[in-house]
């Protein structure tokens, strides 16, 4: 009698579900049906019964999800690491360009200050034309070169700003790519990564936490490396 209870003897009607399950799960389902507090009789468990069908369908669904999760996990990890590395490299490149732009802006300011100083010197020296004629001629001769240098610096700044905007677009596209990939993975694995901003916040605390991280990332490169933000 014990052997009959422990040995699965499902109806052929459930062959589709049974073919998708390993023997250990079949034995466990049979044991639960026939040995629980209010068990099915062997005749009920071996026939077509709604409880048997529900339990088999649930087991198949859980087993398929488990196998999909095991397949997706290494792929997810590799993709996230690759995209995060590319994002870090782009952030570093952007930081270098921003520093160069800052240097050129400082140079432009120096040129403008020098031009203003030279113009003031010329105005203050107008009453001493004879004595300061050589100085006036010198200052006038370098003004065109200064203006050319300023114009050249402005062109360089415009070029670097365009490159900076292009890099920001690339970084934004990478972020969207990471988020899209993670959203796709989450829809299948029901798994969440706390370093990636979710599309929908689960609480007011989570919303405030991400707002704080947004603010910190504007001044902290390390924060931008750790977290991926939605645009």
Q: Are residues 182 and 202 in the same domain?
A: no
Asked, for residue 61, whether it belongs to a domain, the answer is: no
pLDDT of residue 52: 94
Asked, for residue 73, whether it belongs to a domain, the answer is: no
195-213 confidence digits (pLDDT tens) = 888 778 888 999 999 999 8
Q: Are residues 184 and 112 in the same domain?
A: yes
Rounded to the nearest 10 degrees, the angle between the axes of helix 129-189 and helix 50-124 is: 180
φ/ψ bin of 147: left (φ > 0), alpha (ψ from -120 to 50), beta (otherwise): alpha
Q: Is 33 exposed, middle or buried (CB count within 10 Å of its CB: 0-12, 13-18, 19+)? A: buried
Q: Are residues 181 and 83 in the same domain?
A: yes
Q: Are residues 156 and 110 in the same domain?
A: yes
Q: Are residues 93 and 147 in the same domain?
A: yes
Q: Tell me how far apart the alpha carbons of residues 11 and 23 are, in angstroms, rounded to a whole number.
A: 15
Q: Are residues 87 and 109 in the same domain?
A: yes
Asked, for residue 74, whether it belongs to a domain, the answer is: no
Q: Domain total for the chain?
A: 3
**pTM for the whole thing?**
0.30
Asked, for residue 44, whether it belongs to a domain, the answer is: yes
Question: Residues in the chain with pLDDT < 70?
Answer: 1-6, 75-79, 122, 125-126, 129-130, 132, 136, 139, 178-193
Domain that holds residue 220: 194-231
Q: Are residues 203 and 229 in the same domain?
A: yes
Q: Are residues 142 and 169 in the same domain?
A: yes
23-47 confidence digits (pLDDT tens) = 999 999 999 999 888 899 999 999 9
Q: Are residues 95 and 182 in the same domain?
A: yes
pLDDT of residue 180: 66
Q: Are residues 100 and 169 in the same domain?
A: yes
CA distances from 47 to 1, 52, 191, 201 (A): 18, 9, 38, 47
pLDDT of residue 31: 93
């Amino acid at each position: 009698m014990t052997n009959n209870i422990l040995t699965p003897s499902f109806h052929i009607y459930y062959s589709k579900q049974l073919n998708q399950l390993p023997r250990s799960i079949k034995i466990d389902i049979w044991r639960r049906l026939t040995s629980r507090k209010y068990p099915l009789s062997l005749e009920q468990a071996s026939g077509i019964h709604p409880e048997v069908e529900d339990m088999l369908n649930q087991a198949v669904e859980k087993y398929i999800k488990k196998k999909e999760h095991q397949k997706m996990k290494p792929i997810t990890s590799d993709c996230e690491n690759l995209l995060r590395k590319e994002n870090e490299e782009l952030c570093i490149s952007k930081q270098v360009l921003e520093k160069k732009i800052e240097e050129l802006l400082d140079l432009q300011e120096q040129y403008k200050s020098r031009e203003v100083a030279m113009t003031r010197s010329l105005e203050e020296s107008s009453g001493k034309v004879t004595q300061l004629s050589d100085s006036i001629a010198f200052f006038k001769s370098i003004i065109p070169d200064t203006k050319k240098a300023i114009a050249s610096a402005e062109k360089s700044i415009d070029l670097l700003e365009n490159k900076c905007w292009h890099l920001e677009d690339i970084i934004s596209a990478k972020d969207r790519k990471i988020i899209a990939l993670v959203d796709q993975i989450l829809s299948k694995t029901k798994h969440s990564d706390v370093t990636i901003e979710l599309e929908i916040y689960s609480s007011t605390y989570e919303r405030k936490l991400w707002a704080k991280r947004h603010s910190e990332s504007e001044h902290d490169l390390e924060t931008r490396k750790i977290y991926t933000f939605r645009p």
